[in-house]
Structure 1
Amino acid sequence: MAHDTSSDSENEIIGARAKLFGHEKPIHEVLGGGKVADMLLWRDRYVSGALLGGMTVIWFLFEIVEYNFVALLCHISITTMLVLFIWSTVADIFKWKGPQIPNIVLQESFFHDLASILHKRFNQLLPMLLHISCGIDLPIFLLNIVSLYILSVIGSYFSFVNLLYIGFLCMQTLPIVYERYEEEINNWVSDIIIVIRKNYRRFNKNYLNKIPRGPVKAKKTQ
């Protein structure tokens, strides 16, 4: 009885279910597992909400009001100095406690965690890009090329500030959405990859394998 290789390949494709960040890694660990991960996953709603509100205000001022960066920085400094001056004057009159700089304006560990995550992800991205660019997995290579082209077309319709803001919104929404609907998203991604691999193997069988190739010359041994 002949062995059906096409059936085996189909079963191999279907059996390879994708998981975006590895089978054992939760999204919190992928994001570094520190204060940055807590912020992106909205573990501290006040900090995450304040950051989102601040970025929204900055986007509104630059994109909608069309503020110049230097002018905006000067106006913020002037407003801050006026508020502190009024606060200090009123405090002297009513014998209140004057304005003081908090001991920790922004925790140093936050920037350490953020830099560590960026460094780690960058080191992981370079070997991944090299692996994809070598064409070892042609469907994934083609999918990345098409995705980058679509992103470049979309990016041509947005300003740099809009792209930064959209990227920030994705950072604050996609991780928590993935954490809540991890199984559904993994199944959806797996279905897409399975369809791509099936179509590629069909294309390879029907067209690429039928392209005539010259005989392979054996290497001369000295």
Structure 2
Amino acid sequence: MLLIGSTVMWILFEKAGYNFLAFVANTLLLLVVIIFFWAKSASLLNRPLPPIPDLDVSEELVLVAADEIRVWVNSALATLHEIAVDGNLRTLILVAFGLWFISYVGSFFNFLTLIYIGVLLSLSVPYLYETFQGQVDEKFIVVRKYMSTIFEKVDPILQKIPTSLNKQKKTE
């Protein structure tokens, strides 16, 4: 059902050219009008009011989300510190390559299409992995061996790059 819904949303936004903000506003407008008329008709016809739950965000949920976000932010800040303050050239090259790769892949797709591809993969990959687990594991072993041979060739080159551009002054 989620796969069908995400496909309909992608078609609606990408192919039909519908705007996301307009969609959210129109959906909320329709929901508010339906609830309003339901409540008015319920009072006139002596029927129960619409079952609207108490929608409160618990403090525990906010704290858990904040802790998760804090871990990601601290990791990004540590990497930034490693590049800017420590002058770690290896980290700079890896971050620059990663950002370039994301930019390169992103240039092929619209942002909405990337989100849709992410939803499709998150819904289909776990099912396919459970179905074909033995075959997938065999292929991953082959890819891992291949990548380790590539890393063995690249690692000596990365080891030659100095980790810090800042020269430590000798104080006696």
Instruction: Give the TM-score, by structure 2 length.
Output: 0.56
In structure 1, distance between residues paired with 2:81 and 2:147: 20
- Structure 2 match to 1:153: 104
- Structure 1 match to 2:73: 122
2:148 is the alignment partner of 1:194: yes
- Compared CA separation, residues 65 and 116, structure 1 to 2 (3 A): farther
2:25 is the alignment partner of 1:74: yes
In structure 2, distance between residues paired with 1:68 and 1:89: 32
Once the two structures are superposed, what CA deviation does each residue of 1:163-213 show, in whole Å capped at 9, x if it has no partner? 34445666x469968xx87xx599678535522332125768xxx8xxxxx
Deviation at 1:119, TM superposition (A): 1.8
- Structure 1 match to 2:163: none
Structure 1 unaligned spans of 5+: 1-48, 209-218
2:105 match: secondary structure: helix
- Compared CA separation, residues 221 and 164, structure 1 to 2 (3 A): closer
Which residue identity is paired with 1:195?
A: T
Greater relative CO, 1 or 2 (CA 8 Å, sep 6+): 1
Alignment of 1:107-186 (within 5 A): 107=58, 109-128=60-79, 131=82, 134-136=88-90, 141=93, 145-167=96-118, 172=122, 184=137
CA RMSD of the aligned region, Å? 4.6
- Compared CA separation, residues 58 and 108, structure 1 to 2 (3 A): farther
Alignment of 1:44-123 (within 5 A): 58-104=9-55, 107=58, 109-123=60-74
- Compared CA separation, residues 125 and 202, structure 1 to 2 (3 A): closer
- Compared CA separation, residues 67 and 115, structure 1 to 2 (3 A): farther
Q: Greater helix share, 1 or 2?
A: 2
- Compared CA separation, residues 128 and 174, structure 1 to 2 (3 A): farther
Instruction: Give the TM-score, by structure 1 length.
Output: 0.46
Identity value in percent? 28
Deviation at 1:118, TM superposition (A): 1.7
Aligned pairs, number: 153
In structure 2, distance between residues paired with 1:82 and 1:190: 56
Deviation at 1:122, TM superposition (A): 1.9
2:49 match: secondary structure: coil
Deviation at 1:65, TM superposition (A): 2.9
Structure 2 unaligned spans of 5+: 161-168
